[in-house]
Amino acid sequence: MSQFKNDRFLRAILREPIDRTPVWIMRQAGRYLPEYRATRERAGSFMTLCKTPELACEVTLQPLARFNLDAAIIFSDILTIPDAMGLGLHFVENHGPKFERPVRNEAFINSLEVPDPAQLAYVYEAIKLVKHDLADKIPLIGFCGSPWTLATYMIEGESKTNFSIINKMLLENPSSLHKLLDKLAKAVAMHLAMQIEAGASAVMIFDTWGGMLSTENYYEFSLNYSKQIIKELKQYNKNRVPLILFTKGGQRWLEPMAESGCDVIGVDWEITLKEARLRTKDKVALQGNMNPAVLRETAEHIEQQVAAILSSFGQGSGHVFNLGHGITPDVSPEKVSVLIDAVQTLSPPYHTGMSR
Ligand code: CP3
């Protein structure tokens, strides 16, 4: 028996029988919610919101008060790690993250240290507060960025689309880049282990920019380090807390991802879940994969898309419904209710004969 009153999310990951498909939404606590915008305003800045455990807890719980979700995700950010490594992070309004001291040479990489857990204690404190308030109703997900994705922000210094600086380093000085990725892998493994210790029941690696790499480079500079994290985590993760690996644009590499030791692959909308399931041979569970843009369409359109995705995965357990990337700030919360209701009413037939 699980400790959770609603354990559909964890059972789906283990591909155990459930009554219906579980659902949660990437960035479920975010700017599309007026109550998030109000708390964010009160905090004064995004980083203050992240670093004040009571406020991070409040924001984590906001979508759960509105929607019947099957999992919570801790409110934080992947860039807390580079911030703790001393790069000086702030968020520029309508622009995104910016580092005061981006990584530009090997001497700087050599000087970087894996953060002490005490520097990220605000994340673990927030997890403990959320765990307490959830009272075992649903599981809480912890998360981090992949070393590759963190490195793109740390080297470029801000959100970019052409990645010219990191690409130059990859081509001209791959050993420096490997040094940085290795330190980040150690930092991420530590951060995930601490989130698990604080009460996270699953963890997710966001590899937002893995999809921009060539296949050889994806293996060498991204997947390798996710594997290193998974391996390291297994040593002190006695409860076998499951791990979700999400590479945006990573559909080319589903087979090696399924062999990485992760329990779930996050899938975006570039492929159907049918194809993803066939290619991963039910070795892992799948999470996804509705295009967030569908949430701008009518209720009928959203219901049709939910139906198509459920049917594409097909019969049985092993699917966690989600978007294929984070929800955008322009979405109306009512549309999220439509999506969640549709998953709840349309998914039971895919679990017939299997419910507990
Ligand atoms: O999913 C959740 O509800 C948990 C919270 C969460 C946030 N960021 C809060 C956030 C999670 C899981 C993340 C992960 C994250 N952060 C990623 C990977 C996921 C993805 O979307 O691909 C990345 C690349 C980041 C880095 C980051 N944080 C960027 C580039 C930005 C600016 C762009 C944007 O969307 O505004 C952020 C800011 C951020 N992180 C916001 C939220 C709710 C919005 C900031 C605000 O409130 O002003």
Q: Which residue minimizes the CA distance to atom 48 of ligand 1?
A: 46
Residue bearing the CA closest to ligand 1, atom 42: 30
End-to-end Cα, the chain, rounded Å: 12
Instruction: Indicate whether 356 pLDDT > 50.
Output: no
**Is residue 3 within 8 Å of 136, Cβ to Cβ?**
yes
| Catalytic choice (7, 70, 77, 207) | 77
At 355 the pLDDT is 43
As a whole number, mean pLDDT of residues 79-86 equals 97
Rg (CA), the chain: 19
Ligand 1 centre and the CA of 48: distance in Å? 14
8 A C-beta contact, residue 61 and residue 135: no
Report pLDDT for 1. Answer: 53
Average pLDDT over residues 68-95: 95
Probe residue for ligand 1, chosen from 40, 45, 61, 78 as the CB with the greatest number of ligand atoms within 8 Å:
78
Which of 25, 26, 27, 92 for a ligand 1 pocket mutation test, highest count of atoms within 8 Å of Cβ? 27
Out of 40, 70, 207, 225, the active site residue is 40
Mean pLDDT of all residues in 55-77 = 98
Cβ 27 under 6 angstroms from ligand 1 = yes
Average pLDDT over residues 290-295: 98
- Selected residue with higher pLDDT from 234 and 329: 329
What is the pTM for the complete model shown? 0.96
Domains and CATH numbers, the chain: 8-351 (3.20.20.210)
pLDDT interval class at 247 (50, 70, 90): very high
Q: Is the pLDDT of residue 173 over 70?
A: yes
| Residue 1 or 5, more confident | 5
Please tell me the least confidently modeled range out of 23-32, 85-94, 165-174, 203-212: 85-94
pLDDT band at 2 (very low <50, low <70, confident <90, very high): confident
- Mean pLDDT of all residues in the chain? 96
More confident position, 50 or 162: 50
- Contact criterion met (CB below 8 Å) for 149 and 226: no
Is the per-residue pLDDT at 75 higher than 50?
yes
Among 171-185, 229-243, 260-274, 303-317, whose mean pLDDT is lowest? 229-243
Q: Which atom of ligand 1 is nearest to the CA of 79?
A: 26
